[in-house]
Structure formats: structure tokens, C-alpha cells
Amino acid sequence: MSERTRILAVDDQPENLELLGAILEQEGYRVSFARDGADAIAAVERELPHAILLDLMMPRVDGLEVCRRLKARRPSCFVPIILLTALSDVESKVRGLDAGADDFLNKPFQRAELLTRLRSLLRIRGLRDELDSTESVIFSMVDLLEGKDPRTRNHSLQVAALARATADHLELAPRTRQELTWSALLHDLGKVGVPEEMLQDPDRDAASTAAYRSHPLLSARILEPIESLAPAVEILVAHHERLDGSGYPAALSGEQISRPAEILAIANLLDLLRRQPAETRSAPGEALRAEAAAGRFHAATVEAVLAAAANVVDEPRLDDVLPVPVVESGGTILVADDGATNRQLYRELLETAGYSVVTAEDGTAAVEALRRNRPDLLLLDVRMPGIAG
């Protein structure tokens, strides 16, 4: 555990903060304090902690509202939150977890339990940070690519801001907004496989044009191993397609082009039009409306992008553009229990709630089922024959 690991303790009772500080500092954590929910939100804005210990019942802004606000923002949505409360009823715990809390601990708590739960959540946070590093590598590739030509600097970020603002303006579903934003950020990734002279040559011959027009397919090939990005890849592959079939790489037309793909196409073209030299540039809005009049875009979608563009800042920040991840519904759960009645009870309960359930009668069977089914969650009985939970 690094000495730089920062924990924010939030409680309106000074003696509770003193106790938390003593426990955490003894373990080497760096601890900061807030005396109510409003102070906690301000503290997070000043310096993002690695985890938060949060009292539920507080004046001004209670713990539930703090959870909701922090989990609705990026990057604070990834900060683990443990709710601390004297309330022990199930309803309070459910409300806390629904608000976004990652764990729940009743007062008075045991020192060992607090530290164990905190370490567990910090371990998960570390895995999330590794994923952030992977994302950063991808974004750095795009940034490096666009940095080769001053005319395209931050192009993908600007397109993502336009696409995200349009999705918000049209009140698209949260899942669609997330996929559209990712596709916009990554839509030009495939250009890393196109020779630099082809990227900057406005007078490409037929062979160079064909190579250049392959970049959406190259983006798809690069991102193919990342299963979670599959819907975004479907969108970005079509960002040069047009309703009249004049686009590329597949000459799609009409209803073959999804609404998110059309939004990305228009946002991409709008930013490129804005970057043209002033002496040769026509009004971007007029140019897009002309494209719609020619049958390449829906006029309503063009107007939606133009309306949303008015609310996009000139230099958007990545953290402001990236969406808060949408919580998946459903999923596969592996239940391991040596009691047949328990397995059946879990199956009925979880399948009724919309989950796919795989069961195992002991630890050895659970390991095999894990390899075969790649579940999203495991429910393990602690005491089982063979390999214990």
C-alpha cells in the first residue's frame, strides 16, 4: 500500500473522525476529513481521494446524496465509497447501494473489518486504474496521430464533444450516449496504419485514396479484441458513410446507417469544416445543410448537431467528455454451494431478476465452471468439499 493512498473520512461527529484518523494513519494512509456532505463534495473537487469513508446521516447534504453526486461525475464515479451508519435495517443498506455506495459498514465497526473492506475496494480501484492506463494508451495513439498535423490537433476530442452534446440534446438512451462518445473519440484510430504522406496529400491518386479510405476498417481491427467496445466500433466504422450511398468504406445507404453513426459523421464533418483556412471556408452550417439537401444526411440530424454545437466549448477536456459508465443490466452469475436446496433457491431468485445462472456443487466444479462460462459475478459458499469458497 503506497503512502500516497489518500482516504477521505466524512462524519459530523468529531470523535468519529478522530477514531477513523487514528486507525487509518496507523496503517500508513494519508487521511483528510470533512464534517458534512457539502464539505465532502468540495474536498473531492480539490483533490480526488483513492477511497471515501462516508457517514450516512449528516446535516446539509446526507451521505446518500453525496454518493449520487459523486457517482454521477467522472472521474469521481470510480472512487470507492464505504457508507458508515448506525442504521442496521436492510432498507437503509439497499438505498445506500442504489445511490452508488460500494460497501456498507455498521457502527460501531470492528477495526479489522474496516481495514479489510477498505483494502478490498482499493484493490478493485487499482484494477480500474490499470484499465484507465489502457484507455490512456489508446487516446495517446490518437493524440500522437493528430499531432502530426496542426490542422487536426484535438480533432477527435472536439468531435466527441460535439457528438456527446448532440446525444444529450436529443436525449438518447444512456447506453447510446456512451457508445457514441467512445466511437467519436476513437473514430480516426485506424489512421495510424495509413502512411503519413497519404494523410496530408489532398490530391491522392486512386491507390492512395483506397488506402486512405480503409482507415475505418483498420480502426475496427485494432479495437476488435476489446469486447466492451464492440457497439462503438459498429458506429465508428460508418462515420464516412452517407445516406445516398456515396460514402465509404461499404457504400451504405438509407436505413443501413444508424442514427448514432450519422451523428458522428455530421460532427466529424462539422469540425473538419471549421478547420479549413478562413479564405476558403464557407459557413459550416450552410455547408452541412447543403449536404442534407443533397440527400447525404437527414436535415433534422444536421440541425440537432448544429444546435448542440452552440454549447460546446472551444477546448473541451477529456474528463468532461467521457461519459459515466452505464451499469449493465443482467449478466451471468456463478453460484457455488454444496446444498442443492440453496442452489435452487439462488437460481430461482436470480433468474427471476433477469440474470443467467450457472451452478456448481463444490469448489472444484466452481473452478471448472469459471473457465467454461466466464461469469460476471461469483456467489461462493465458504465451506464446501474439495476446494473451499
Q: What is the pLDDT of residues 3-48, one digit of tens each?
A: 579 999 999 999 999 999 999 999 999 999 999 999 999 999 999 9
Give the CATH number, domain containing residue 92.
3.40.50.2300
232 & 311 share domain? yes
CA-closest candidate to residue 270, choices 259, 281, 254 = 281
Q: Decide if 263 is inside a domain.
A: yes
Name the more confident of 305 and 328.
Answer: 305
Residue 200 burial class via C-beta count within 10 angstroms: exposed 0-12, middle 13-18, buried 19 and up: exposed
283 & 167 share domain? yes
Residue 276's pLDDT band (boundaries 50, 70, 90)?
Answer: confident
pTM of the model: 0.77
Residue 344 grid cell: 435452487
Angle at 188 between CA 284 and CA 273, to 5 degrees: 10
- For residue 227, which amino acid is it? E
Q: Decide if 389 is inside a domain.
A: no
What proportion of the chain, given as a percentage, has pLDDT over 70?
A: 96
pLDDT at 92: 82
336 & 310 share domain? no
Residue 2's pLDDT band (boundaries 50, 70, 90)?
Answer: very low
In sequence order, what are the beta bridge partners of 86?
none
38 & 121 share domain? yes
111 & 160 share domain? no
Contact between 197 and 212 (Cβ < 8 Å)? no
Residue 30 grid cell: 494519508
* Helix-, strand-, coil-residue percentages of the chain, each rounded to 5: 55, 10, 35
230 & 278 share domain? yes
Q: Decide if 136 is inside a domain.
A: no
41 & 166 share domain? no
Q: Decide if 139 is inside a domain.
A: no
pLDDT at 150: 65
Q: What is the pLDDT of residues 172-212, one digit of tens each?
A: 999 999 999 999 999 998 888 877 777 777 778 888 888 88
Give the CATH number, domain containing residue 306.
1.10.3210.10
Contact between 326 and 350 (Cβ < 8 Å)? no
pLDDT at 136: 74
pLDDT at 145: 73
Contacts of residue 143, Cβ cutoff 8 Å, sequence gap at least 6? 154
Q: What is the pLDDT of residues 112-168, one digit of tens each?
A: 999 999 999 999 888 877 766 667 777 777 777 777 666 778 899 999 999 999 999
Angle at 56 between CA 55 and CA 57, to 5 degrees: 100
Phi-psi category of 386—alpha, beta or left, where left has phi over 0 and alpha has psi -120 to 50?
left
43 & 78 share domain? yes
pLDDT at 1: 44
104 & 161 share domain? no
Of the residues 321, 343, 371, the one at which a domain ends? 321
Residue 280's pLDDT band (boundaries 50, 70, 90)?
Answer: low
166 & 295 share domain? yes
Instruction: Give the integer Cα–Cα distance in Å for 80 and 49.
Output: 9
Residue 119 burial class via C-beta count within 10 angstroms: exposed 0-12, middle 13-18, buried 19 and up: middle
String of b and e for 28-64 (b: at least 16 CB within 10 Å)?
ebebbbbbbbebbbebbeeeebbbbbbbbebeebbbb
Of the residues 102, 129, 156, the one at which a domain ends? 129
Please report where in the chains the cell 464557407 appears, as a residue.
282
pLDDT at 12: 92
Of the residues 68, 95, 129, the one at which a domain ends? 129
Contact between 146 and 189 (Cβ < 8 Å)? no
Whole-number average pLDDT of the chain: 89
98 & 164 share domain? no
Q: Decide if 385 is inside a domain.
A: no
CB atoms under 10 Å from CB of 199, counted, come to 18
175 & 301 share domain? yes
Residue 378 burial class via C-beta count within 10 angstroms: exposed 0-12, middle 13-18, buried 19 and up: middle
| Residue 228 three-state SS | helix
pLDDT at 133: 67
Q: Decide if 135 is inside a domain.
A: no
Q: Decide if 71 is inside a domain.
A: yes
Residue 372: which domain range?
A: 332-380
Average pLDDT, stretch 350-363? Answer: 92
- The count of structural domains within the chain is 3
Evaluate the omega torsion of the peptide bond into residue 249 and state whether it is cis, within 30 degrees of 0. Answer: yes
Average pLDDT, stretch 329-340? Answer: 90
Q: Decide if 376 is inside a domain.
A: yes
